[in-house]
Structure 1
Amino acid sequence: MIPLITHTPRLTLLAGSRALLTAELHKPHYFPVLLGAAMPADWPPGEYDEEAGRYFLAQLTAGGRTAAGWYGWYAILKATEQRPATLVGAGGFWGPPDAAGTAEIGYSISADWRGQGLATELVSGLIQQAANTGMVRRLLAHIRPDNAASQQVLLRNGFQLTDPDTEGRMRFEREVEPAAPAV
C-alpha cells in the first residue's frame, strides 16, 4: 500500500482523498475542518486551480483505492507555538508511473508563503514519496520559461533541464532511487 502521508522538516504532505477534494470543491467551509489546518487567503494557489481539483477527484473516483496517493497532495505547514497548522500549497503527481516507472509532478505555493523555501521542501517530499512507493524510477516536471523561481526549486532538488516540450514549456527530469525496504 502506498503511504498517504509524508513529513519533511516543516511540512506534512497529505494525499488528497475523495472526501477532501469534495469538500474543497463543493463545501469549502468544511474543507479546513477536514484538513485540520488554517487556510491561506489566496487559496487555491497558482496553477493548482478548480480544474486540477476536479481532475484529481475524477481520477480518484475512477481508480478507487489503487489511485490513492497518485494525484493531488496538500502541503500543510506544521503548527508552532505562534501559529496553527496552515495549508500553504499543493502538489502531487499527474497519475501513477508508466510502464517504465516515469511519473510527472507539479506543485504550487500560496502567494503569502512564497520565498521561504517551502516549494523546495514540497518537491523534496514528493521525491521522497515517489521513492517510498518503489514504483517510480524517473520524475518529470514541466515549467513555463518565465517561472524562474520554480526552475530553481527543481534544480535544488536534483532535476536537470532537458529539451523543451512541444508546448514551449521547459522539461526537467531526475532519477529516483527506490527507498530501502523497512526492516
Structure 2
Amino acid sequence: MIPLITRTPRLTLLAASRALLTAELHKPHYFPVLLGAAMPADWPPGEYDEEAGRYFLAQLTAGGRTAAGWYGWYAILRATDEQPATLIGAGGFWGPPDAAGTAEIGYSISADWRGKGLATELVAGLIQQAESTGMVRRLIAHIRPDNAASEQVLLRNDFQLVDPDTEGRMRFERAVTPATDTL
C-alpha cells in the first residue's frame, strides 16, 4: 500500500482524496475544515488550478484505491506557536509510473509563501514519496523557460536539465532509488 502522508522538516504532504477534491471544487467552505488547515488568499496557486483538481478527481474516481497517492498532494505548513497549520501549496504526480518506472511531478506554491524554500521542500517530499513506493525509477518535471525559481527548486533536488525545449518547456529528470522492504 502506498503511504498517503509524507513529512518533511516543515511540511506535511497529504495525498488528495475524492472527499478532499470534491470539497475543494464544490464546497470550498468545507475544504479547510476537512484539511485541518488555514487557506492562503490566492488558492489555488499557480499552475495547480481547477482543471488540475478536476483531472485528479476524475483519475481517483476511475482508478479507485489503486490510484490513491498517484495524483495531487496538498502541502501543509505545520502549526507553530505563531501560526496555525496552513495550506501553502500543492504538488504531486500526473499518474502512476509507466512500465519503465517513470513518473512526472508538478508543484505550485501560493504567492505569500514563495521564496522561503518551501517549494524545494515540497519537491523533496515528492521524491521521498516516489522512493517509498518502490515503483519509481525516474522522475521528470516540465517547467516554462521563464520560471527561474522553479528551475532552482529542481536543481536543488538533483534534477538535471535534459531537454531545454520540449514544446516550449524545459524537461528535467532525476533518478530515484526505490525503497526496499526488509522484514
**Runs of at least 4 residues off by over 6 Å:** none
The one-letter code sitting in structure 2 at the alignment partner of 1:130 is A
How high is the TM-score relative to the length of structure 2? 0.98
Distance in 2 (CA, whole Å) between partners of 1:46 and 1:120 is: 16
- 1:100 is matched with 100
Distance in 1 (CA, whole Å) between partners of 2:45 and 2:169 is: 20
Distance in 1 (CA, whole Å) between partners of 2:37 and 2:166 is: 39
Distance in 2 (CA, whole Å) between partners of 1:82 and 1:182 is: 40
The one-letter code sitting in structure 1 at the alignment partner of 2:16 is G
The Cα offsets for residues 119-167 of structure 1, whole Å up to 9 and x where unpaired, read as 0000000000000000000000000000000000000000000013541
| SS at 2:163 equivalent | coil
- 1:65 is matched with 65
The Cα offsets for residues 91-125 of structure 1, whole Å up to 9 and x where unpaired, read as 00000000000000000000000000000000000
Shift of 1:8: 0.1
- 1:50 is matched with 50
Distance in 1 (CA, whole Å) between partners of 2:105 and 2:181 is: 23
- 1:74 is matched with 74
| Mapped pair 1:163 → 2:163 | yes
- 1:130 is matched with 130
Distance in 1 (CA, whole Å) between partners of 2:86 and 2:182 is: 30
- 2:29 is matched with 29
Identity of aligned residues (%): 89
Q: How many residues align?
A: 183
- 1:143 is matched with 143
Distance in 1 (CA, whole Å) between partners of 2:95 and 2:89 is: 19
Distance in 1 (CA, whole Å) between partners of 2:182 and 2:4 is: 16
Shift of 1:181: 2.3
RMSD: 0.8
- 2:153 is matched with 153
| Unaligned ranges ≥5, structure 2 | none
The Cα offsets for residues 6-50 of structure 1, whole Å up to 9 and x where unpaired, read as 000000000000000000000000000000000001000000000
Distance in 2 (CA, whole Å) between partners of 1:7 and 1:182 is: 21
The worse-fitting range, judged by mean Cα deviation, of 165-174 and 35-44 is 165-174
The one-letter code sitting in structure 2 at the alignment partner of 1:72 is G
- 2:176 is matched with 176
How high is the TM-score relative to the length of structure 1? 0.98
